[in-house]
Amino acid sequence: MSTRKASLLLLVVLILTSGLLGGCQNQGKKVVVATDATWPPMEFVDTNKAIVGYDIDLMKAIAKEAGFEVEFKNVAWDGIFAGLAAGEYDAVISSVTITDERKQEYDFSEPYINAGQIVVTGADSAIAGPDTLTGHTVGAQLSTTGAFALQKMEGVTLKEYDEIGLAFEDLVAGRIDALVCDTPVAADYALQREEYKAKLKIVGDPFTDEQYGILVQKGNADLLALINKGLKAVQDKGVDKQLEDQWLR
């Protein structure tokens, strides 16, 4: 083989190797993911001091499908975005709503759940969702998306509360017929709390739009593509719905 041919062959090999390495630089590596583990059932610390919750199980499933290892780091909310920008971790999954403002600073995965307003009612109630609230008294926290939505519903009597826990107390006591709140909040109160879980149920689907996404640093296209690849596989297999049934229903 001539020197020129050998040089060309070496160049081709180097180009191909570089492309393969560039496309897989996140695959098979450890991805450190920050979460503020103070919001059950999405992310919280259990009695064994392990970080658990819907977001945690979802991220583990994404990592499994996409072929990378995930390590979680518990970070306070007030510093979680700054830490991502500073490169202290690779990604954030912490019930973060996708907004246009945040998209200017960070890159988001595809949405993974709609955590909008949902209806909670008594365990024996015939109310089946937002379309069956007519003629009922329904609670919501003051100046929330849920309260604004209820104000637009004909035939619904809205009762507003300074704090959503007071609405849950009134619902159990029979002073209101139903309430609406964020889906994760509903799951925390109605499914996780011993004093409520036998007396309440979540009905229907979220009726407002509040999509959550996973954040990475702006421009980290390789990691974002890997996360989206894993997320799509999780969604195609219905794993996300299984986790919703486990944690949010």
**Residue 116 pLDDT > 80:** yes
* Separation of alpha carbons 234 and 245, rounded Å: 15
Same fold: 27-114+211-247 with 117-203 = yes
* Separation of alpha carbons 92 and 72, rounded Å: 9
* Separation of alpha carbons 59 and 133, rounded Å: 35
Q: Which residues pair with 108 in a beta bridge?
A: 215
Please report which helix (H) or strand (E) contains residue 54, including its range.
helix 54-66
Of the two residues 161 and 10, the one the predictor is more confident about is 161
Using the Cα atoms of residue 98, residue 101, residue 102 and residue 108 in order, give the sign of their dihedral. positive
Residue ranges per structural domain of the chain: 27-114+211-247, 117-203
Q: Output the CATH code of domain 27-114+211-247.
A: 3.40.190.10
* Distances from the Cα of 246 to the Cα of 55, 155, 187, 231, angstroms: 12, 34, 10, 18
Query: Does the domain formed by 117-203 have CATH 3.40.190.10?
Result: yes
**Residue 205 pLDDT > 80:** yes
* Separation of alpha carbons 13 and 19, rounded Å: 10
Give the model confidence (pLDDT) of 127-140 as tens digits: 999 999 999 999 99
CB-CB contact of 81 with 92 (8 Å): yes
H helix runs in 131-220, sequence order: 145-151, 164-173, 183-187
| SS3 state of residue 27 | coil
Give the model confidence (pLDDT) of 17-44 as tens digits: 444 444 445 556 899 999 999 888 999 9
